[in-house]
Amino acid sequence: MSEIFLDIETTGLSYKDNHKIVEVACIETNDLTPTKRIFHKILNPERNVPEEAFKIHGFSTEFLKDKPKFSEIADELLNFIQDNDLIIHNASFDIPFINHELKLIKKNTITQNKIIDTLELARGKYPGTSNSLDALCRRFNIDLSRRIKHNAVLDCDLLREVYIYLLDAKEPKLSFNSEIEKKTNQSKIIEYSKKVVKPSEEELKNHNLFLKTKLKKNYF
């Protein structure tokens, strides 16, 4: 089964205030390695975009007027997601928005998928600190230079990197730029790799000495 990294941009903070989705993106991975399958749609929210939201994602009311409505892309989105695991940063924001839009057009909501919320994972590992996507990228030294404004496709890709660090999993090394660059108008190749540092003989000697003395004294 694949994993789907998902992100949305909206006109505001709550669908209860009649705010709508203006962008939705998904990146498919297999064992956290990108398959290069991407779902990305910019949407007409059928309402004005407040200035505060425009400053975040850069989508104006005028720009979105000729874009498809959520109802026109809903089936394609659901077909892309299927029953795969969903990995989302702050899922309690994204999922209610998507499910509200689905309910409005009488479609089945997202209820069966396993949802992994990286915000909750980060809060568990780093309590009492900022765990926004930006903050986590800075914590893990992930390049944020491409993130001038919020962009759902780019955010999915950054989230994939963050998630690997949260799991402390080994990062697959590859060049994954063609599809992402098409969506973000970037030309920089993204290289994914973690550096493995082997201990020196002296470090191993000191470590073994520590085990023989400190641990034996304290625990055995």
Residues, the chain, total? 220
* 8-state DSSP, 191: B
SS3 of residue 151 by DSSP: coil
Reported as a single tens digit per residue, the pLDDT across 193-212 is: 444 445 566 656 665 665 55
pLDDT, position 38: 97
Sorted by where each begins, the domain ranges of the chain are 3-219
CA angle 36, 41, 44 (to 5 degrees): 175
Reported as a single tens digit per residue, the pLDDT across 105-132 is: 999 999 889 999 999 999 999 999 999 9
CA–CA distance, 130 with 142 (Å, rounded to integer): 16
How large is the average pLDDT for residues 86-112? 96
CA neighbor of 100 nearest in space, from 3, 8, 26, 38: 8
pLDDT, position 192: 38
Reported as a single tens digit per residue, the pLDDT across 147-175 is: 777 889 999 999 999 999 999 854 444 44
* Residue in 40, 57, 89, 150 annotated catalytic: 150
Statement: the pTM of the whole predicted model exceeds 0.85: no
Give 30's strand partners: 33
Q: Is 40 a catalytic residue?
A: no
Pick 3-219's CATH classification: 3.30.420.10, 3.40.390.10, 3.40.50.2300, 1.10.510.10. 3.30.420.10
